[in-house]
Amino acid sequence: MTPISILFVCMGNICRSPLAEGIFRHLVTEAGLNGHFTIDSAGTGGWHEGEPPDGRSIATAQSNGIDISGQRARRIRSSDYRDFDLILAMDRDNVAALEKIAPPEATIRLFGDAALGTGEDIPDPYYGGPDGFELIYTRLLTGCSSLLEALGVERASCSGNTSSVR
């Protein structure tokens, strides 16, 4: 069975996408589905490459029982478009940046569309305080829970074929 591969993307890969990766990974583990998913995160920019997530993201995740402190920021690579079944961008600016360099077969979706069904952007909390990180944590948790439920059902119904994710 080939795992469904998901890449969460924000601007610098230190606030939103590491939280989304950590939340989704935590939910997958709790559901006993570790072998069913490949999960990662990246940024459209490389300003923070090699750095851990923002301390406020780490603290927010930690306060919710999730450890993301071992993650390291990285920039999107051309191979990601081939290697990931689903690339989920946190806002429309990230979608636009990804689409500029993506091959036609890449599946890039706005997190707010694919996971929340609302079409909303997940706002960047970088320039705000801890409350902004709590707010996005709540939105990401809601979306990641819905996404896992949808993909788990899809996984069961397609018997290892992930073509419907694309």
Assign residue 80 the CATH number of its domain. 3.40.50.2300
Per the CB < 8 A criterion, the answer to whether 83 and 62 are in contact is: no
- Alpha helix stretches (DSSP H) within the chain: 16-30, 55-63, 78-83, 92-101, 111-114, 130-158
pLDDT of residue 1: 72
Predicted confidence at residue 153, as pLDDT, reads 61
pLDDT exceeding 90 applies to what percent of the chain?
90
CA distance 11 to 94: 6
Q: Which of 25, 121, 124, 155 is catalytic?
A: 124
> For the chain, what is the domain count?
1
Determine the average pLDDT of the residues in 140-162. 75
Share of the chain above pLDDT 70, in %: 92
3 state SS of 33: coil
Active-site residue, 16 included: yes
Q: Is 124 a catalytic residue?
A: yes
Mean pLDDT, rounded, for 41-64: 97
Report the alpha-carbon distance of residue 117 to residue 146 in Å, rounded. Answer: 9
Task: Note the pLDDT of residue 166.
Answer: 36
pLDDT at 54: 98
CA pair distance 49, 14, nearest whole angstrom: 9
How many CB atoms within 10 Å of residue 126?
16
Whether pLDDT at 157 is above 60? no
For residue 85, what pLDDT is reported?
97
72 in active site: no
For residue 54, give its domain range: 4-165
The answer to whether 66 and 88 have CB atoms below 8 angstroms apart is no
Average pLDDT score over the chain:
92
CA distance 6 to 55: 24
* Residue 23 main-chain phi, psi, to 5 deg: -65, -50
Burial 25-49 (b: 16+ CB within 10 A, else e): bbbbeeeebeebbebbbbbbbeebe
Tens of pLDDT, residues 4-24: 999 999 999 999 999 999 999
- Catalytically annotated residue among 15, 16, 54, 139: 16
Average pLDDT over residues 90-117: 97
